Structure 1
Amino acid sequence: MKYLNILDLLASGCLIWIKKVLLFGDFGIDDTIALLFLLFSKEVEIVGIVADYGNVERSKVLRNLNYIKYLGNLNIPIFAGAETALTGIEPIYYPEVHGPEGLGSIIPQIPEEIDMPIYEIEYLKPYIRNLNYDITIVTLGRLSSLAAIM
């Protein structure tokens, strides 16, 4: 496994050698833009996404990701990551900065009949093993979920 930061990847132009990416983030507006960039990259295959709290609470992050999956008709597994820091300190959110749902002025709406599965974090290790550890981990935000599965 390789551990890289998305900013390092963008600055170095090294996206060409990356095949399979496991993406960690809080998927407010900034991480969502990075996700869209990676989805349109021909050099990257996103094989999984771990949704953490961050700009908004985790429940909104999960819904935001499912909204992106719904719009793009994507089949990428989403894993429910951390809801708080490992220290137990409760997060503070700033809807006046990130918007009420974390996506600026976008209010995601997914039809109720659409099934959008979310996997618990404990299924992530077997999933990585199933990929023969042939992944690159890219983190966009906090490292709580990554630390929890190590």
Structure 2
Amino acid sequence: MLAFWVLLLAGAAAQRPVIISTDPGIDDSIALLLALASPELDVRAVCINFGSLHNTSQLAQNALDILALAGREDIPVFLGATDPISQPFHDLGGPKFHGTDGLGGVRLPHSRATVNTSVSAVEFIVHACRSWQPAPLLVSLAPLTNVALALNLDPKLPERCPDLFLMGGTVAAPGNVGPMSEANIANDPEAAARVLSAGFNTQVAALDVTMASWLPPKFLASLRDLPNDAGPFIWQSTRFYERAYETIGGFEGGMPLHDPTTLLLYLKPELYQLHRWPVTVDTSQYPSVSRGILVVDRRGGPKSPPPPDTDKVHFPMQVDVAGVQEFLLSRLRALPAGRLQILSE
């Protein structure tokens, strides 16, 4: 408890308001808990976007229950995009990695809170970017449909909310739903193309760094001993995730750190080496094998001039894995035990 309040007092003066667009599956849950445990961040809203499941009502319930687990039922949850902006939804295998409920079959006590239906997630994003000072940090852990639709409502969104951190794509690493395509981008390439060309100051947690930030079985097992229910919940839900990576992906124990890396890029940037490159998105028609690929232009040597200022897409390609594990564990440990609910059996 003391560690949490020390962190809270240290970061209170510099808190950044945050809006998180997410499709709460297993790694999204870890990212949400990390954000809630970080005093640098003031999580103001969770906006639901289809992705790991097509059922956004289930995803919204997951978000509500995770917020309740951390004692934050005060944070509103808004429903957002239920389908891609211009193409039919195609199941890319999300339930195989997250389970049919998105949380690997782990049952949490249902939150007393309900979805905020006063406005849509997209409308909320636009309103917040127009009215909040300081401008919120936009974090996308899902397909970029919510952000693309917000851009349609307000093309000046990158001027109002310039900073966008997202998980998606791959630069040089193998893809996870195609040879070079990643699920968040491939679920709505047209939305990704719209957002990545809009002029946000964007940092992209691509598979190159999220797969390198591998959490071994020993680290995951250590979460069971945290002095709160966040660790045991993560431990239980990641049993499904880890088995999926073993049986489907052919990996031997452990799991990648996809969505939490997006938050870590903001919270602990010294753990990463960033590169700024031009990028476009392949929007070939489904089922083209190239659909959803990020085309990243890495030509040139170390003395080449940087891309134009209008190109503000940054990719981390190197990571201090030990530093990531140490920081993540310390933040999850700092969640106050007394405010968390007991998991259902």
Q: Which TM bucket (shorter chain)?
A: 0.7 to 0.9
Identify the structure with bigger relative contact order (alpha carbons < 8 Å, sequence gap 6+): 1
Kept in 1, the 8 Å contact 2:26–2:98? The answer is: yes
Distance 1:137 1:73 in 2: 22
- Correspondence 1:87 to 2:60: no
Counterpart position of 1:146: 147
C-alpha spacing 1:30/1:101, structure 2 compared with 1 (3 Å): same
The correspondence of residues 70-109 of structure 1 with structure 2, limited to 5 A, is 70-74=68-72, 75-92=74-91, 93-109=93-109
Give the TM-score taking structure 2 as reference length. 0.36
Distance 1:145 1:87 in 2: 13
Structure 2 letter corresponding to 1:88: Q
Q: Which has the larger radius of gyration?
A: 2
Distance 1:115 1:135 in 2: 23
Determine helix, strand or coil for the equivalent of 1:54.
coil
Counterpart position of 1:11: none
Structure 1 letter corresponding to 2:62: N
Distance 1:123 1:20 in 2: 14
Give the TM-score taking structure 1 as reference length. 0.77
Distance 2:64 2:142 in 1: 19
Of the three residues 26, 41, 46, the one matched with 2:43 is: 46
The correspondence of residues 15-54 of structure 1 with structure 2, limited to 5 A, is 19-54=16-51
Q: 5+ residue gaps in structure 2?
A: 1-13, 152-345
Kept in 2, the 8 Å contact 1:48–1:79? The answer is: yes
Distance 2:52 2:100 in 1: 10
Count of aligned pairs = 132
Kept in 2, the 8 Å contact 1:63–1:108? The answer is: no
**Could you report, residue by residue, the CA deviation over 1:64-91 in whole angstroms, capped at 9, with x for unpaired residues?**
0111122223111111111011123123
C-alpha spacing 1:140/1:18, structure 2 compared with 1 (3 Å): farther
- Correspondence 1:59 to 2:57: yes
Q: CA deviation at 1:48?
A: 1.1
Distance 1:51 1:134 in 2: 20
Structure 2 letter corresponding to 1:86: I
Q: CA deviation at 1:105?
A: 2.6
Distance 1:130 1:24 in 2: 18
Q: CA deviation at 1:109?
A: 4.2
Q: CA RMSD in A?
A: 2.0
Q: CA deviation at 1:27?
A: 1.1
Q: 5+ residue gaps in structure 1?
A: 1-16
Kept in 1, the 8 Å contact 2:19–2:125? The answer is: no
**Could you report, residue by residue, the CA deviation over 1:23-51 in whole angstroms, capped at 9, with x for unpaired residues?**
11111111111111111011111111111
